[in-house]
A and B are shown apart, each in its own frame.
Chain A
Amino acid sequence: MNKIKTIFKGKFLFIFGPFFLLWLLRYIIPNYTISSKTPHWAYIPPKSCLGGCGSIDGFIPFVDWTNALIQFLRKYEIFGFFTFRDFTRGIANYVDKFLDFTEAVLHKGFPSYEIGPLPWIFIITLTVILGFYLRGWRLALLGGTCFAYLILFSKRGIWELSMKSLAAISVSAPLAALIGLCLGILAVKRKRFANFLWPMLNILQSLPHFSYLILVVIFVGIGTKAGVIATVIFAFPPMARLTILGLQNISQEIKEAGVMAGCSKWQMLFKVEIPAARSPIMLGINQVIMQCLAMIVIAAFIGQPGLGHDLLIRLQGLRLGEAFEIGVAVVLIAITLDRYSQALALKEPERREGNFVKRNPYLCATFFAIIICSILVFLFPFFNEYPKELTVSASVYLDNAIKSFTRSLFVPLGIFRDWMLIYFLMPLKAVFQSMPWTGVILFVGAIGWKLGKMRLALTVMLFVFFIASSGYWVRAMITLYMVFASLVICALIGIPLGIWASKKESRTKLVLNICDIFQTFPSFIYLLPAIMLFQISDVSAIFAIVIYSSIPMIRYTVFGLRNVPQQIIEASITSGCTERQLLWKVKMPLAFPEIILGANQTLMFALFMVMIAGFIGTVDLSQEIFRALSFSDGGKGLIIGLCVAFIGLTADRLLVEWSNQMKKKLGFIN
């Protein structure tokens, strides 16, 4: 008796209270009402709205409202003479002008002046020189290798496809960077605008891509320019964020030095603040470029030609060898652009003295390279257009290799897949589907309340209520189950790997480098091995999610463990801790808040990847979004998008608050 009392008084109830509540509600609320075969209203949200309209799922017609708004923007001339859609299309036409130019330079040429596109030899040479300038021969080698691969393997047109993609990126990246920079500056200078911008950025970044692709189709159309605009919308938030962070973190003294020198407002901004924050701003540009690359496949859904488009077609046709070849091209471009822009961000101005050539060696090298390349192109057609006969393709061999590989592993992989499905995934799915929506609302509310924030509790409850009332509850729970299953596997892989990696400097370096490389891969790439190994099933979706989203789990675990203060470790060793005691009694408890943050990031990554995995046929929210995309149903797309965003935001709010409270308790932050 006493024992039970202490259990309920102590930490037990505190930790497991909400779970207990959820479990209780699951048994109290009947699965079906007795009179009919419809589920009880408190179990699964009822399918009738407040006004009694029967056309929609859920009980609040958010989708209809959104569609009405979209119709209004399409049809009604709010600007007097033209509609909002005319306005957006007008902007798109301007974007098209820039696109015409970059496309002409990179792959179309200027037929009216009888000038061809930039010959390949120029692109390779200039990339190499830029690599040397930014960091040194290694970077130059990487850049050279990347473009050499593109030209060598262009039997199926990889070079042209790459140039198309690069043409789109070279419009979308600067545009997104510029918009992000301006918004960031505005947010720092005007407090009120910042209050508006932050939540917008949060939602924009947690909305799945496909949900606003539909809006882009409605308001802009399809094709390259639509792809560019979708890319810009997707890519500007990190730039805005990093600009805000950069400008806010300038040391007070530097700003005061600017004021005391008598700077006017604009002089402050352009001569002091932006240069002083240039590293974070440049990192923002790096982020923008990576986001743009991640979008090249997704933008293909609304008809942007390029590498992404062909990758998609090959994936759909299960022509994995060819898909692999294109995938390598995408990855190479991604790594190259990532490393180049990182090098740019970290580049410090260098002191060079002497004559003009000594002071500007790279400028001179570029100049001479251009002259030499021009002569070569003029004399030998080889350098102008790489001959088709000399290109190669490994796709046939790759196809065979993949086939024999999967054939030999067919039985064990099949057994593994079925075992996973029957003993892990199916039961887990059943658990998630049996949760009453009212119970889940109370559950998140209880956690929020226990973290000591009434406001937090109300916010997360509202998020969950939105999902339930909008009519996508069942699908949302399937999404949640996939995310949760992946999270569990990620933790099982990521935490031990993180512990292993944190033990030695060399291992840490190795693992973090691998993480870096994996993180640069555009997400669609991960579907390739998943399909190869597990065909089309929940297992392959979860496999793809797990590879993609283990990265933050590993990273944060390593970070948390390695950042335990050296003094504390030394104190524990001198107290006589064994290696194991040191890990479990000292390091892990101190690293735990970071690991929670890692889990949070993993969850966000997983949520993002679930949406992409919808492409290989899962039955959760992502399938609904793909459906909405093919019917151009903007309202539905947006509302489902918001459902996904709210799943993410609910978890994010709770986990980050939890981690912060633990850090406070440990005295890491005030």
Chain B
Amino acid sequence: MDDQIKISCSNIWKLYGENPEKFLKENNNNPSTEQLKSNKYIPAVRDASIDVKTGEILVIMGLSGSGKSTLLRCMSKLIQPTDGQVFFEGKDLLKASDKELIEIRRHKMGMVFQHFALLPHRTVLQNVAFPLEVQGIEPIKRENRAKEVIKLVGLEGREKYYPRELSGGQQQRVGLARSLAVEPDVWFLDEPFSALDPLIRKEMQNEFLRLQNMLKKTIVFITHDFDEAIRLADRIAIMYEGLIVQVGTPEELITKPATDYVAEFTKDIPRSKLLNAESVMNNEDKKLYDNTVNFKEKIEKIASKVLKSEGSYSVIDENKKVIGSLSKKEIIKALFAEDKNE
């Protein structure tokens, strides 16, 4: 097994209904949508295979009911999949005993929940120390560690507060701190910022990126917000009705959508945030103008200055070599690219 790969899922099925195991076997482990429907089985996850690489942020994205949360719960075996395999660091998770699972969860996994899932009767400090407490770590040691993580997420001074005394954003900081207390290898985040106001959400995304820069965890992040996905992801997996439709980098999804569904999804995405100068420039025109931009620069950053100026900009690569040019025309084309498709 490749040690670059932290979690490996293959052919995961999760069906709800009368006797899903039997039904799946009878249909050669691959029932069609019609078969599922006519037998009254509800597919949450269908034949999902995906690898999570060490140190990457994998975002699983889809609308509600697409099976993204179920897939995440199969990875941590919070839910037993109907069929398929999950390997965690090369270990077959579905064959692990309860005891082994408890050990793995105590030391290798951390999880953050959409509605924070804080224990209401415990203070911030006690909540953060909770995973350490259940491991049986002595009080002074665990409280010290908890204080460290609380400081890390910027909640110093609130240790004695109860969850109900905190705002939503602060509560989720506690959730983040709790999941980080045991220094897990893998960090599962299940729509962690969906319940927050847009402004707070942005702030928390920055906070998350800051933490990831320091900690370099392997991350599986669930969201239904494509903006959030492209902001945070190294790779994105798009799910639709239980199927993984496409896995790829944000640029790949936008420039080469695998299906109409993905294309439809990415249509409204502000391209300026994703595309860089290189991908939209005019390749023919290699003159050197007064103004230059770096070829990796995102359109979002340069659009306004190009649009405001009269002339064109040269695009230069890392060796300061001119590889193309940008004028108003290219920028407008890039920003309203969807018109092209029609």
Q: Residues of A with Cβ closer than 8 Å to B? A: 251, 253-254, 256-257, 259-264, 267, 271-272, 275-276, 278, 348-349, 351, 353
The stretch among B33-41, B128-136, B261-269 that forms the contact with chain A is B128-136
Given contacts A256-B111, A257-B111, A263-B134, contact A276 B119 (CB under 8 A): yes
Q: Which residues of A contact B121 (CB under 8 A)?
A: 275-276, 278, 349
- A260-B119 in contact (CB<8A): no
Q: Which residues of B contact A260 (CB under 8 A)?
A: 76, 78, 105, 109-111, 179, 188
Q: Which residues of B contact A259 (CB under 8 A)?
A: 78, 105
- A262-B135 in contact (CB<8A): yes
Q: Which of A253, A261, A348 is the one whose CB lies under 8 Å from B130?
A: A261
Q: Which residues of B contact A251 (CB under 8 A)?
A: 115, 117
Given contacts A259-B105, A276-B120, contact A253 B134 (CB under 8 A): no
- A253-B117 in contact (CB<8A): yes
Cα-based distance from A264 to B100 in the complex (angstroms) = 11
Confirm or deny: B148 has a beta carbon within 8 angstroms of a beta carbon on chain A: no
- A262-B103 in contact (CB<8A): yes
Q: Which residues of A contact B122 (CB under 8 A)?
A: 275
Given contacts A262-B102, A262-B105, contact A267 B134 (CB under 8 A): yes
Confirm or deny: B301 has a beta carbon within 8 angstroms of a beta carbon on chain A: no
B166-205 contacts to A, CB under 8 A, are 178-179, 188
Confirm or deny: B113 has a beta carbon within 8 angstroms of a beta carbon on chain A: yes
Q: Would you list 18 pairs from A and B whose C-beta atoms are within 8 A, ordered by A residue?
A: A251-B117, A253-B113, A253-B114, A253-B116, A256-B73, A257-B118, A257-B178, A260-B78, A260-B110, A261-B134, A262-B135, A267-B134, A271-B134, A272-B119, A275-B122, A276-B121, A348-B162, A351-B165
The interface bits of chain B over 5-16 (1 if a CB of A lies within 8 angstroms of the residue's CB, else 0) are 000000000000
- A349-B160 in contact (CB<8A): no
Chain B, interface size: which category?
A: 35 or more
Q: Which of B78, B118, B134 is the one whose CB lies under 8 Å from A262?
A: B134
Summarize A's interface: helix, strand, loop or mixed.
helix
A628: shortest Cβ distance to chain B, in Å? 48
Inter-chain pairs besides A262-B134, A349-B121, 11 sampled, C-beta below 8 Å: A253-B115, A260-B78, A260-B105, A260-B110, A260-B188, A261-B105, A261-B106, A262-B102, A264-B102, A275-B120, A351-B123
B121: shortest Cβ distance to chain A, in Å? 5
Cα-based distance from A261 to B110 in the complex (angstroms) = 7
Q: Which residues of A contact B336 (CB under 8 A)?
A: none
Interface centre among B105, B134, B164 (most CB of A within 10 A): B134
Cα-based distance from A259 to B73 in the complex (angstroms) = 11
B213: shortest Cβ distance to chain A, in Å? 24
Cα-based distance from A519 to B146 in the complex (angstroms) = 48
Q: Which residues of B contact A264 (CB under 8 A)?
A: 102, 134
Which residue of chain B has its CB nearest to the CB of A263?
Answer: B134
Q: Which residues of A contact B76 (CB under 8 A)?
A: 260
Cα-based distance from A253 to B134 in the complex (angstroms) = 18
CB-based closest 5 A-B pairs: A262-B106, A253-B117, A261-B131, A257-B117, A262-B105
Q: Which residues of B contact A278 (CB under 8 A)?
A: 121
Cα-based distance from A358 to B57 in the complex (angstroms) = 47
Cα-based distance from A251 to B190 in the complex (angstroms) = 15
Which residue of chain A has its CB nearest to the CB of B103?
Answer: A262
- A254-B117 in contact (CB<8A): yes
Cα-based distance from A555 to B117 in the complex (angstroms) = 34
B69-115 contacts to A, CB under 8 A, are 73, 76, 78, 102-103, 105-107, 109-111, 113-115
Confirm or deny: B161 has a beta carbon within 8 angstroms of a beta carbon on chain A: yes
Which residue of chain A has its CB nearest to the CB of B158?
Answer: A351
- A353-B160 in contact (CB<8A): yes
Cα-based distance from A264 to B105 in the complex (angstroms) = 11
Q: Which residues of A contact B114 (CB under 8 A)?
A: 253
The interface bits of chain B over 124-147 (1 if a CB of A lies within 8 angstroms of the residue's CB, else 0) are 000000110111000000000000
Interface centre among A262, A278, A348 (most CB of B within 10 A): A262
Q: Which residues of B contact A353 (CB under 8 A)?
A: 160
Cα-based distance from A468 to B202 in the complex (angstroms) = 71
Which residue of chain A has its CB nearest to the CB of B108?
Answer: A262
B12: shortest Cβ distance to chain A, in Å? 18
Cα-based distance from A353 to B123 in the complex (angstroms) = 12
Given contacts A253-B114, A257-B111, A261-B130, contact A351 B161 (CB under 8 A): yes
Cα-based distance from A253 to B171 in the complex (angstroms) = 14
Q: Which residues of B contact A348 (CB under 8 A)?
A: 162, 164
